Amino acid sequence: MEAASITETASAGPPARKLGDVINAYALPALLIAALVAQFVYDQTGTLNDIKTGLSNGTIWALIALGYTLVYGIVELINFAHGEVFMIGSFVSVSLWATFGVDERTGIPLMILSIIVVLAIAMLASGTLNVLIERVAYRPLRNAPRLAPLITAIGMSFILQNVGLLWRPTPDSAPDLIGSQKDYFTIFHVGIEHSDVFAVVVTVPLLVALLWFIGATRYGKAMRATAQDPDAARLMGIDVDRTIQLTFLLGGLMAGAAGLIYALYNGTIRFNQGFTAGLIAFTAAVMGGIGNLKGAVIGGLIIGVIQAVSDSGEYLGLPLGPQWTPAVVFGVLIMVMVFRPQGLFGEETREG
Amino acid sequence: MADTFRRTRDVVAGTLPPPAWMLAGLALAILFPYIAGTGSLLDASIQTLAYIIMALGLNIVVGFAGLLDLGYVAFYAIGAFVIGWFGSQQFPDINGGKGIHILASDRSTFQLKLNGTKAEIPGIHVNFFIVIFIAMAITAVWGILLGGPTLRLRGDYLAIVTLAFGEIVPRIFENSTSGLFGIGRTDFSNGRQGITPIDTINLPWSKSAVYTDFNLRPAYWVALAMVVFTVFVNRRLRDSRLGRAWIAVREDEVAAAAMGVNLVRTKLWAYAIGAAFGGFAGAFLGSYNNTVNVDQFEFGFSVFVLAMIIIGGMGNIWGVIVGAVALSMLNRYGLPELNQLNIGFDPTSVSYGVFGFFLLIMMVLRPEGFLPSGRRRLELHEAEIEGGDAAVVGDMSQMYEVRQ
């Protein structure tokens, strides 16, 4: 998959390697791996279980992170409202199932059909919403200082969160269509549940399709060109506005899919799920090197594992637990920002 | 006509109102409790005064120095917890159960036992007027600690890191029920329940508390004095050498550094002073609300304060005050009034949605705010003034200045 990073510059030659650079490049991943290995030595089954939970959960973060990274790559804006687009995807899915009376008693063929249809509708709804947000909140501010679109993004996020609040004020349960708690099979004493398989089976084709679209089609080429230099792209006959719209559409589609998977995976939906999920996914995007698609996916998986380890209640005997998980994730975000703002795979990104 | 209007507005916004107007305004503010009565309006005014202090503090960081801070609520939290610790019975075992009392009034020093004898109240009870300055000092230190690591970052990266701090700090307080960071045994926060009751504002020479639930006026005057102090400090800072350095950094960091501005020191001062006012107001609100709990410290509050300074006019002290009054009164009266219209839902539940809407509209239609500082208006309308070339082409490389 050539040029998965959409901000990659063609002219970037091989960077000169010095010892400091090497330490800088590998310190963070090495630290993360060492932390995980230490925990594995301490508690093998628990750690394997955490890795499993983290990877399947991480695929959802990866889907959302792709939306952040795509948009940041092309307009260098943190689309704050992206988490809320994901939340709307969840709400649309659950509302559709409730409207058509699909629940765990429905027959299997109809159930699978309903999941596919609802997935398509949720993706379209979120994609359209994301395009609308771009039109209303970001396009009028193309020439303003960059603080301005960030603030409208926050405003948009609050508006959508409150739309969610009016739509479903209390946490709602999603129908357990996939029998999420049931074990499929067990390896190394780790039960692989239906929900894990479901998350991976739905997510991976979407990720591959997106990477293919951006890497191989002419629309993807236009996006990469716009990300590098919008003015030059315009001179080459690329419709920059259309390309930006397409970027937002793709990000929204992924967020909508993530919304559906999240609803089925977790079983509950809540109007403020988007805020936390958005920040987690953004952390993933930053960790992978924002603007880098593969980086976002890997960042999502890493954050998933970190979360699972923190959720499980202890790390090397230190008391942790779900109440500390947000602090742990945001702590990781700060560490990445401070020590390696270009992210794990950020060497390819454009230098300022 | 429009020109005259603009010139008048420039005088009002760019410079200060004449001293006579300021004195008249201050006199009106002092006499206000006699007009407002002692009920809900006075209560709302006291909250508003505290929000003005916060908005002015955030304005130093965002408006003067141009560092977008989305985690300002962290300093509110720290300030409130400082008064929670220094003015309540949170640590009952301290000093052998007899407590520590420093210039505290009788009301927070002794309690009447059933048999009529007086007994000392356990816990730490330091006079309110000392605690607010302790809170300022502690939050200033935290402002530097949180600002330090972010010095290399710019724009939205900085915003995200501050947001992360704003999320972490309340989590730490919430989870410190057995030792800070879960290390040790002392309960620092009572978890989600929070610390309550908290000592009220008291004067060392008065035997009983000055402020009671039935008499809000002294609390109002204390808050007003705090606002006057804040405005005074802000004005002096803005016109100082440091204030000019902040504006230089906001306008162009690289050029400022080239002209000899010490970026590290300038930014850290902005964080420290901005945070100190957050803690100042936080300690007051902790005492006034009589409780400190983590539900008060959500991300929405940071945005609420940010919306105040954006809607009022970033960087302009008077604009910020107008914005703070407008938003906090809207929050208190505007939205509940809408409820009378029977629109099918409770508008107060979506108040943050309404603020979000204001932010959006304001940024798209009038990004400089109601009362902009002259310089900032110029900056935001640069493209129009320079002759719309950049505006037509949509020069994104200029808009999204190169990060890092």
Instruction: Give the pLDDT of residue B245.
Output: 93
Average pLDDT over residues B39-49: 89
Q: Which of A8-17, B303-312, B339-348 has the highest mean pLDDT?
A: B303-312
Average pLDDT over residues A57-63: 91
**Chain A residues inside the 8 Å CB shell of B150:** 337-338
Q: How confident is the model at residue B402 (pLDDT cuts 50, 70, 90)?
A: very low
**Chain B residues inside the 8 Å CB shell of A349:** none
Mutate to test the interface with A, among B59, B185, B363, B382 (most CBs of A within 10 A): B363
**Chain B residues inside the 8 Å CB shell of A169:** 349
Q: Would the CA dihedral through B348, B349, B355, B360 be positive or negative?
A: negative
| Eight-state DSSP code of residue B198 | B
**H-helix or E-strand containing B7?**
helix B2-14
Instruction: Give the pLDDT of residue A6.
Output: 57
Judged against a pLDDT cut of 50, whether residue B390 lies above it is answered with no
Q: How confident is the model at residue A348 (pLDDT cuts 50, 70, 90)?
A: very low
Cβ contact, residue pair B396, A142, below 8 Å: yes
Cβ contact, residue pair A156, B356, below 8 Å: yes
Lowest mean pLDDT among A10-19, B62-71, B75-84, B391-400: B391-400
CATH number of A42-171+185-339: 1.10.3470
**Chain A residues inside the 8 Å CB shell of B399:** 142-146
Instruction: Give the pLDDT of residue A1.
Output: 37
Residue B389 pairs with which residues in a beta bridge?
none
**Chain A residues inside the 8 Å CB shell of B77:** none
Average pLDDT over residues A156-168: 88
Instruction: Give the pLDDT of residue A107.
Output: 75
Residue A186 pairs with which residues in a beta bridge?
A191
- Number of A/B CB contacts below 8 angstroms equals 164
Average pLDDT over residues A52-61: 88
Judged against a pLDDT cut of 80, whether residue B19 lies above it is answered with no
Lowest mean pLDDT among A46-55, B63-72, B220-229, B371-380: B371-380
**Measured between CB atoms, does B153 come within 8 Å of chain A?**
yes
Instruction: Give the pLDDT of residue B57.
Output: 95
**Measured between CB atoms, does B61 come within 8 Å of chain A?**
no
CA-based nearest residue in chain B for residue A319:
B182
Judged against a pLDDT cut of 50, whether residue B314 lies above it is answered with yes
Of A143, A154, A334, the CB nearest to B390: A143
Measured N-to-C along each axis, helices A44-75 and A194-216 cross at an angle, to the nearest 10 degrees, of: 30
The amino acid at B165: F
- Tell me the two tokens of residue B64: 């003067």
Instruction: Give the pLDDT of residue B271.
Output: 93
Cβ contact, residue pair A231, B396, below 8 Å: yes
Instruction: Give the pLDDT of residue B387.
Output: 44
- How far is residue B111 from each of residues A330, B122, B202, measured CA to CA in Å? 44, 10, 16
Domain boundaries, chain A: 42-171+185-339
Rounded distance between C-alpha atoms, residue B105 and residue B81, angstroms? 20
Q: How confident is the model at residue B375 (pLDDT cuts 50, 70, 90)?
A: low
Judged against a pLDDT cut of 60, whether residue A12 lies above it is answered with no
Query: Distance (Å) from the C-alpha of residue A135 to the closest C-alpha of chain B?
Result: 12
**Chain A residues inside the 8 Å CB shell of B393:** 231, 234
Cβ contact, residue pair A166, B358, below 8 Å: no
Which residue carries 């249809």 as its tokens? A117
- How far is residue A23 from each of residues A19, A28, A343, B152, B345, measured CA to CA in Å? 6, 9, 14, 19, 57
| pLDDT above 70 as % of chain A | 89
Q: Which of B86-100, B200-214, B251-265 has the highest mean pLDDT?
A: B251-265
Cβ contact, residue pair B367, A337, below 8 Å: no
Q: How confident is the model at residue B376 (pLDDT cuts 50, 70, 90)?
A: low
| H-type alpha helices, B37-104 | 40-59, 73-86
∠ CA B265-B270-B276 to the nearest 5 degrees?
120
Q: How confident is the model at residue B15 (pLDDT cuts 50, 70, 90)?
A: low
**Chain B residues inside the 8 Å CB shell of A338:** 149-150, 152-153, 161
Q: How confident is the model at residue A259 (pLDDT cuts 50, 70, 90)?
A: very high
Cβ contact, residue pair A148, B363, below 8 Å: yes
Average pLDDT, chain B: 80
For residues B181 and A250, which has the higher predicted lDDT (pLDDT)? A250
Residues 6+ apart with CB under 8 A from B317: B56, B59, B231, B234, B235, B238
∠ CA A274-B339-B354 to the nearest 5 degrees?
35
**Chain B residues inside the 8 Å CB shell of A328:** none
- Please state the ipTM of this predicted complex: 0.81
Instruction: Give the pLDDT of residue A14.
Output: 53
CA-nearest of B95, B94, B102, B294 to B199 is: B102
Average pLDDT over residues B200-226: 72
The B residues from 78 to 137 touching A (CB cutoff 8 Å) are: none
Cβ contact, residue pair A145, B399, below 8 Å: yes
Judged against a pLDDT cut of 50, whether residue B403 lies above it is answered with no
Radius of gyration of chain A (CA): 20
User: From the centroid of its chain, how far is CA B45?
Assistant: 15
Is residue B112 within 8 Å of B51, Cβ to Cβ? no
pTM of the full structure: 0.84
Rounded distance between C-alpha atoms, residue A235 and residue B309, angstroms? 40
